[in-house]
Amino acid sequence: MHSGNADRPQGVLLRGGTVIDGTGAPRFTADVRIEGARIVAIGAGLVEEGAWVIDATGKIVAPGFIDVHTHDDYLAQSAPRMLPKISQGVTTVVTGNCGISLAPLVHANVPPPLNLLGGPDKYIYPTMAAYAAAVDAARPAVNVAALVGHSTLRVAAMGDPYRAATAAEQARMGELLREGMAAGATGLSSGVFYPPGAAADIDELALLAGIAGEMGGVYTTHIRQEADQVLDSLDEAFITARRGRVPLVISHHKCAGPQNWGRSVQTIAHIDAARRDQAIGLDCYPYIASSTVLRGEMVDGIIDILITFSVPHPEMAARTLADIAREWQCTQREACERLQPGGACYFQMREDDVQRVLQYPATMIGSDGLPHDQHPHPRLWGTFPRVLGHYSRDVGLFSLETAVHKMSGLSARQFRLADRGEIRAGAFADIVVFDAATVMDTATFEKPNAQAIGVECVLVNGAVAYRHGNVAPSRHGRFLRRPGT
C-alpha cells in the first residue's frame, strides 16, 4: 500500500467495478469518481487525472454499510480504528441503542446494563455536545450517529431510577433530551426490557418520544418483552411512537424462548398491519443467539448460555453456564448469580424466525455487537459479511441488491442520515468494495474476534480507510449531526 498522502490524494477513481447503489436497484458496471469527501461522477471511462486509481474490476462497489444498532459509544474513542466495524465494510455506526448512551451522564459507577459500554466508570459527558466534540477529537475510522438513551436520562435525572419518575424528573429528562437533539443526536432510544428503563410507563416514553419527534429524530426501542408478551410489547412501542409522532424502529426483533419459536409469522403480520398507519422500521442481526448482561430470569435450564464476561470470574468467559454449574456443583441460576456482574450469549431464537425477520422489507441490518466483552458474540465482527455471504449468496434468502439496501440506503432513509447510504453523485463517498464470491464472516462463537474476508477496500468521507486487511493510518470519520443542527 502507498504511504505519504496516498490515503488522501485530490481524488479517487474506482475503476470498472460493479455498482450496487444501495437503493435496491439492479447492479451496473461503472467507474466512480470521488473528490474531497463526496462522489462527483458515476459512469463509463471517467478521467483518471488527479486521482488515485483503484481497480475494482470484478468487484462490487456499494455504499459503506450503516450499522444501525451498536453499543460503540465508547469504542469510538477507546479504539478509534474501529477494526471490528471497518473490516466488515461498515462506515457509520449508530450508537446509544437499547436505552443506553454514554451521554448525557456523569457517573462513577453506573448499574447494568449501562456498564455494557466499556465498564461502570466511562460516563464522563454531561451533554451530548461534549460527547460529539470528543468523538470529533478522537477521529474514529467510521462515522458516528448517536441516539440519546432513555435509561441514561433516568440515571442522570433521578436519584433512584428504579421507580416511577415524578413530573419534575420527567421534565429534567426532557431538558437533557432537548440538549442532546439540539447537539445533533439522531433520536431517542429506549430499553424498557431492562431496569432502570423498565420502570417507565408509556406516558413517560410518549412524552420523550414526542420531543425526539418534534425535533426531527427517530425513536428506537428494545421492547418490554420479546418472549410470551411480544405482541403486547410491540403494541406499546407502536402507541408510544404514534403519540410522540415519531418514526419508530423496533430493535433486534426476535421471538425469544422455545415456547415462542415460529411466532415471527404473527409478529411480522402485526408489524405489517401497523405500518399502514405509521412509519416503522426494524433491525436484526443474523444469528440465533442474543447477547446482553447476565440475567437470572433468562436462565431456564433449556437454552444454551455462553458466558461473554464475568467481573468476579474472568476465567469463565467462553464457557457455557451448564458447564460452569457442573464444575461448581450448583444450579445454573446459582452459577449465574456467582458470575455477576457479567454477560452472556443466549441461544434463544430459531433459524426460521431469524430468516423471516431478515427478509422482511422494512428490516435493516444492525449488529448489536458488544465491543468490550472479553469473549463477545460473533455478531460484533461478522454481521454484515454474514448477511452478504451466508444469507444472500449461500442460502439465497434475498438478492445481493436487497442485502446491500438493508445495510445502506434503507438504513440512511430510516435514520435520516443525509447524503449517506447511496452511490450517487453528490452523496458522501462512504464506499465499500467487496468480492461477492468470497465475502464471508469468519467470527464464530468459539473464536469471535476474527476479521471477515472478501472486504477489499473501504472509503470513509472520500478517504481510503481500510485496504487489504489493514486500517489506514489517518482516520476520517465524523460525528454525524442531524440535518439542521
What is the contact surface with Zn ion in residues (CB under 5 A)?
98, 222
Angle at 82 between CA 77 and CA 84, to 5 degrees: 140
For the CB of residue 191, give the shortest distance to Cu ion in the complex, in Å.
7
Question: Cell for 484?
Answer: 439542521
Q: Where are the alpha helices (DSSP H) in 395-437?
A: 400-406, 409-414
Q: In whole angstroms, what is the distance from residue 36 CA to residue 273 CA?
A: 44
For the CB of residue 160, give the shortest distance to Cu ion in the complex, in Å.
24
Q: What DSSP assignment string belongs to 183-247?
A: TT--EEEEETTSTTGGG--HHHHHHHHHHHHHTT-EEEEE-S-SSTTHHHHHHHHHHHHHHHT--
For the CB of residue 229, give the shortest distance to Cu ion in the complex, in Å.
19
Residue number with CB closer to Cu ion (282 or 455): 282
Selected range binding Cu ion among 89-97, 126-134, 175-183, 391-399, rule: CB under 5 A: 89-97
DSSP 263: T
* Residue 393 binds which entry of Cu ion, Zn ion, none, CB below 5-8 Å type-dependent: none
Name residue, grid cell 469473549. Answer: 375
Residue number with CB closer to Cu ion (21 or 67): 67
Residue number with CB closer to Zn ion (86 or 282): 282
Residues between 390 and 429 with contacts to Cu ion, criterion CB under 5 A: none
Angle at 377 between CA 376 and CA 379, to 5 degrees: 120
Residue number with CB closer to Zn ion (52 or 346): 346
Residue number with CB closer to Cu ion (368 or 373): 368
* Residue 241 binds which entry of Zn ion, Cu ion, none, CB below 5-8 Å type-dependent: none
For the CB of residue 444, give the shortest distance to Zn ion in the complex, in Å.
22
Please answer whether residues 304 and 287 qualify as being in contact, where contact means their C-beta atoms are separated by less than 8 angstroms. no
Name residue, grid cell 459509544. Answer: 73
For the CB of residue 18, give the shortest distance to Zn ion in the complex, in Å.
35
Residue number with CB closer to Cu ion (76 or 458): 76
DSSP 367: -
For the CB of residue 191, give the shortest distance to Zn ion in the complex, in Å.
6
Strands 105-107, 60-63: pairing kind: unpaired
What is the Cα 391 distance to its own chain's centre?
19
For the CB of residue 252, give the shortest distance to Zn ion in the complex, in Å.
6
Burial 285-324 (b: 16+ CB within 10 A, else e): bbbbbbbbbbbeebbeeebebbbbbbeebeebbebbbebb
Residues between 161 and 180 with contacts to Cu ion, criterion CB under 5 A: none
Selected range binding Cu ion among 95-103, 136-144, 466-474, 477-485, rule: CB under 5 A: 95-103
For the CB of residue 142, give the shortest distance to Cu ion in the complex, in Å.
17
Check binding of 72 to Cu ion (CB under 5 A): no
Residue number with CB closer to Cu ion (94 or 183): 94
For the CB of residue 222, give the shortest distance to Zn ion in the complex, in Å.
4
CB-based burial of residue 327 (10 Å sphere; 0-12 exposed, 13-18 middle, 19+ buried)?
A: exposed
Q: How many CA atoms lie less than 13 Å away from 428 in the CB half-sphere?
A: 25
For the CB of residue 294, give the shortest distance to Zn ion in the complex, in Å.
15
Residue number with CB closer to Cu ion (81 or 379): 379
Selected range binding Cu ion among 26-34, 98-106, 124-132, 420-428, rule: CB under 5 A: 98-106
* Residue 67 binds which entry of Zn ion, Cu ion, none, CB below 5-8 Å type-dependent: none
When binding is defined by CB under 5 A, the residue of 98, 117, 128, 480 that contacts Cu ion is 98
| Sequence-ordered list of residues with C-beta below 8 angstroms from that of 147, at least 6 positions apart, any chain | 94, 95, 96, 97, 101, 185, 186, 187, 188, 189, 218, 220
C-alpha radius of gyration, the chain, whole number: 22
Residue number with CB closer to Cu ion (77 or 97): 97
When binding is defined by CB under 5 A, the residue of 87, 92, 97, 461 that contacts Cu ion is 97
| Sequence-ordered list of residues with C-beta below 8 angstroms from that of 54, at least 6 positions apart, any chain | 12, 13, 14, 15, 433, 457, 464
Selected range binding Cu ion among 3-11, 97-105, 111-119, 404-412, rule: CB under 5 A: 97-105
What is the pattern of x (binds Cu ion, CB under 5 A) and - over residues 353-372?
A: ---------------x----
Q: What is the largest CA-CA distance in the chain?
A: 71
For the CB of residue 159, give the shortest distance to Zn ion in the complex, in Å.
26
Number of shown-chain residues binding Cu ion (CB under 5 A)? 3
Residue number with CB closer to Zn ion (98 or 289): 98
Residue number with CB closer to Zn ion (363 or 461): 363
Using DSSP's 3-state secondary structure scheme, residue 274 falls into: helix
* Residue 56 binds which entry of Cu ion, Zn ion, none, CB below 5-8 Å type-dependent: none
Q: In whole angstroms, what is the distance from residue 368 CA to residue 121 CA?
A: 21
Q: Which parts of this chain interact with Cu ion (CB under 5 A)?
A: 97-98, 368
